[in-house]
């Protein structure tokens, strides 16, 4: 049986092992190779398809590892017989129950929602596939001996050097020795919290703010105070009153394209926050994961004040790919040593293989062109979604024209006491994922706001849902997340 004709174009075609394994897998799934059927011997398959026995053996072994083939030492290969689960009922789709647990964890494994207006990442088909594949091929050429150990506690040195160089272009002068690579920017925030703070310490966060930060702070046992986020920065009067009344140790802010509002600090707002930090001796933790999505320059607090007063956190989920899980923090060398010990205590070193892959992506000449394309697509998405919001009579908090997020609410919410949380639960039944503002509020207040990811929010069915909800009676439900 001839299953495929080998394509030997090394630049265009997959490897011969990939071609052979793919052809076998298709034949099994199409039942041309049925359960229990014996496959040709390695030598016979190699002769029939004009490939080496090494290629065939590697393909066969790959399918054994996937459970599609079975083999015994010295015996033949045959198609595996699939076992049926006794008494297992047929799988049916059940709308998930919305809540903070679903939003922060279960949603990442939930592929049942067709319109993901509330998610926090770029669409899969927007990613730099060519650059990522090239990086993985480069990684495959690295000798195993160079990656067999745990790696350096601070992370892969060439990537740290590259980050230092890129930050220098933004006016932040720092060396690779001040950078700690982490398992995503969220872990970087967790490390900072565990290193700087103790249970009972007072901190300030933006209101609304990054939802995962609220969970990190809750686990740490600190006292959290919300400070209203404004389009220019944070409400200085509220923060000034707060630091006079409480011994605030740290203030957490997102400088540009804030999650969830999309707002960016003005230069004046940045200077006033840093002046207040100097007067009251608190640390500013700057979350800056979306700077690569900006269309024009914006303040960078760590460059304005230095690492003596600011701890800088960023990552590559928005500019490379979320599943790479590579982030970093930058701070003074003294604090960095403490953060490195915290990192090692939590989970030893970070994943050098992923750090190497990110490094290759960033060094690839196509990455700059790719990011320019992403920024342009997001600009167009902002225009489209803002127009849909205007037609649906929504109040828009800010119109950044860049980044992933818009923060908005209907001017004509349904009557009753359902709130945004209840409306989000109704949306799930219609296959729409919404992110209600209560999940981003340190006090769990539900004031009708939603976070919209513009890359996923252009679907007409989303806005029909809101228009229909405004006309329909609203069900009773929770008014706030407690």
CA–CA separation, 234 vs 269, rounded Å? 7
| 193 and 319 co-located in one domain | yes
Task: Give the DSSP per-residue string, 178-220.
Answer: GEEEESHHHHHHHHHHHHH--TT-EEEEEES--HHHHHHHHHH
Q: Is residue 210 predicted with pLDDT exceeding 90?
A: yes
| Closest C-alpha to 314, from 174, 106, 105 | 174
The answer to whether residues 274 and 265 touch, using CB atoms and an 8 Å cutoff, is no
Q: Is residue 474 predicted with pLDDT exceeding 70?
A: no
| 379 and 358 co-located in one domain | no
In the chain, pLDDT over 70 holds for what percent of residues?
89
Tell me the average pLDDT across 354-383: 93
Helix (H, G, I), strand (E, B) or coil at 372: helix
| 207 and 322 co-located in one domain | yes
Q: Which pLDDT value is given to residue 151?
A: 86
- Taking only the tens place, the pLDDT of each residue in 38-73 is 999 888 999 999 988 888 888 888 888 788 898 876
Look at 71-80, 177-186, 202-211, 342-351 and tell me which has the smallest mean pLDDT: 71-80
Q: What pTM did the predictor assign?
A: 0.78
Return the DSSP state at 99. S
Q: What is the number of structural domains in the chain?
A: 3
| 315 and 393 co-located in one domain | no
Name the token pair of 147. 């990656």
Asked if residue 139 is part of any domain, the answer here is no
Q: Environment class of residue 247 by beta-carbon count within 10 Å: exposed (0-12), middle (13-18) or buried (19+)?
A: exposed
Asked if residue 306 is part of any domain, the answer here is yes
| 401 and 426 co-located in one domain | yes
Check which CATH number belongs to the domain holding 47 and give it.
1.10.10.10
The answer to whether residues 251 and 269 touch, using CB atoms and an 8 Å cutoff, is no
The answer to whether residues 314 and 185 touch, using CB atoms and an 8 Å cutoff, is yes
Asked if residue 92 is part of any domain, the answer here is no
Check which CATH number belongs to the domain holding 104 and give it.
3.90.1150.10
Asked if residue 133 is part of any domain, the answer here is no
Q: Which pLDDT value is given to residue 322?
A: 86
- Alpha carbon separation from 124 to 4, 60, 400, 438 (Å, rounded): 29, 30, 23, 27
Band of residue 3 on the pLDDT scale cut at 50, 70, 90? confident
| 298 and 424 co-located in one domain | no
| 243 and 358 co-located in one domain | yes
Q: Which pLDDT value is given to residue 339?
A: 97
Residue entry with tokens 């219609």: 430
CA–CA separation, 292 vs 403, rounded Å? 9
| 53 and 120 co-located in one domain | no
Asked if residue 260 is part of any domain, the answer here is yes
Phi, psi (deg, nearest 5) at residue 258? -60, 140
CA–CA separation, 164 vs 352, rounded Å? 18
The answer to whether residues 191 and 337 touch, using CB atoms and an 8 Å cutoff, is no
| 303 and 388 co-located in one domain | no
Band of residue 14 on the pLDDT scale cut at 50, 70, 90? confident
Task: Give the DSSP per-residue string, 268-325.
Answer: HHHHHHHHHHHHHT-EEEEE-TTGGG-SS----HHHHH-TTTEEEEEESTTTT-GGG-
Q: Which pLDDT value is given to residue 93?
A: 43
Name the token pair of 48. 């029939």
Name the token pair of 52. 């080496």
Helix (H, G, I), strand (E, B) or coil at 72: coil
Asked if residue 415 is part of any domain, the answer here is yes
Count of CB atoms situated within 10 Å of the CB of 293: 20
CA–CA separation, 400 vs 258, rounded Å? 10
Band of residue 132 on the pLDDT scale cut at 50, 70, 90? confident
Look at 46-50, 146-150, 213-217 and tell me which has the smallest mean pLDDT: 146-150
| 383 and 313 co-located in one domain | no
CA–CA separation, 310 vs 185, rounded Å? 16
Asked if residue 29 is part of any domain, the answer here is yes
| 163 and 190 co-located in one domain | yes
Q: Which pLDDT value is given to residue 327?
A: 97
Instruction: Please list, in sequence order, all residues whose beta carbon lies within 8 angstroms of the beta carbon of residue 325, skipping any fewer than 6 positions away.
Output: 183, 184, 317, 351, 354
Asked if residue 347 is part of any domain, the answer here is yes
Q: CA neighbours within 13 Å on the CB side: how many for 2?
A: 8
Check which CATH number belongs to the domain holding 325 and give it.
3.40.640.10
Single out the residue in 310, 342, 363 at which a domain terminates: 363
- Taking only the tens place, the pLDDT of each residue in 93-120 is 454 555 555 555 545 455 567 789 999 9
Tell me the average pLDDT across 300-308: 95
CA–CA separation, 161 vs 111, rounded Å? 37
| 107 and 44 co-located in one domain | no
Domain that holds residue 442: 100-127+369-471
Q: Is residue 86 predicted with pLDDT exceeding 80?
A: no
């Amino acid at each position: 049986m001839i299953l495929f004709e080998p394509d030997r174009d090394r630049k265009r075609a997959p490897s011969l092992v990939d071609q052979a394994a793919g052809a076998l897998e298709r034949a099994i799934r199409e039942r041309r190779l049925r359960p229990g059927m014996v496959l040709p011997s390695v030598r016979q398959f190699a002769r029939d398809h004009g490939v080496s026995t090494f290629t065939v053996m590697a393909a066969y072994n790959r399918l054994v590892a996937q459970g599609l083939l079975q083999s015994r030492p010295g015996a033949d290969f045959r198609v595996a017989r699939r076992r049926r689960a006794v008494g297992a009922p047929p799988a049916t789709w059940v709308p998930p129950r919305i809540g903070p647990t679903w939003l922060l964890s279960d949603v990442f494994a939930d592929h049942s929602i067709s319109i993901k207006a509330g998610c926090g990442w770029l669409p899969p088909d927007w990613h730099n596939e060519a650059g990522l594949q090239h990086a993985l091929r480069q990684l495959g050429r690295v000798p195993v001996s160079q990656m067999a150990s745990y790696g350096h506690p601070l992370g892969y040195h060439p990537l740290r050097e590259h980050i230092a160089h890129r930050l220098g272009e933004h006016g932040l002068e720092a060396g690779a020795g001040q950078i700690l690579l982490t398992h995503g920017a969220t872990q970087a925030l967790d490390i900072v919290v565990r290193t700087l703070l103790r249970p009972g310490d007072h901190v300030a966060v933006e209101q609304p703010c990054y939802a995962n930060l609220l969970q990190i702070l809750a686990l740490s046992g600190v006292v959290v105070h919300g400070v209203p986020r404004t389009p220019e920065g944070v409400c200085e009067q509220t923060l000034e009153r707060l630091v006079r009344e409480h011994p605030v140790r740290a203030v957490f802010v997102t400088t540009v394209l804030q999650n969830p509002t999309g707002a960016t600090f003005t230069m004046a707002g940045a200077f006033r926050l840093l002046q207040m930090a100097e007067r009251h001796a608190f640390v500013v933790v700057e979350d800056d994961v979306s700077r690569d999505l900006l269309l024009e320059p914006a303040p960078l607090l760590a460059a304005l004040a230095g690492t003596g007063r600011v701890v800088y956190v960023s990552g590559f989920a928005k500019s490379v790919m979320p599943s790479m899980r590579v982030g970093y923090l930058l701070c003074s060398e003294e604090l960095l040593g403490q953060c490195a010990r915290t990192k090692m205590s939590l989970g030893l070193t970070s994943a050098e293989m992923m750090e190497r892959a990110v490094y290759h992506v960033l060094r690839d000449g196509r990455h700059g062109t790719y990011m320019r394309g992403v920024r342009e697509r997001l600009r167009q998405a902002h225009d489209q979604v803002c127009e849909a919001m205007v037609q649906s009579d929504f109040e828009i908090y800010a119109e950044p024209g860049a980044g992933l997020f818009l923060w908005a609410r209907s001017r004509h919410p349904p009557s009753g006491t359902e709130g945004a949380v209840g409306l989000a639960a109704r949306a799930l039944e219609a296959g729409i994922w919404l992110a209600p503002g209560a999940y981003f509020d340190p006090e769990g207040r539900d004031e009708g706001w939603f976070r919209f990811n513009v890359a996923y929010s252009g679907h007409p069915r989303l806005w029909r849902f809101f228009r229909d909800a405004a006309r329909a009676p609203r069900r009773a439900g929770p008014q706030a997340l407690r």
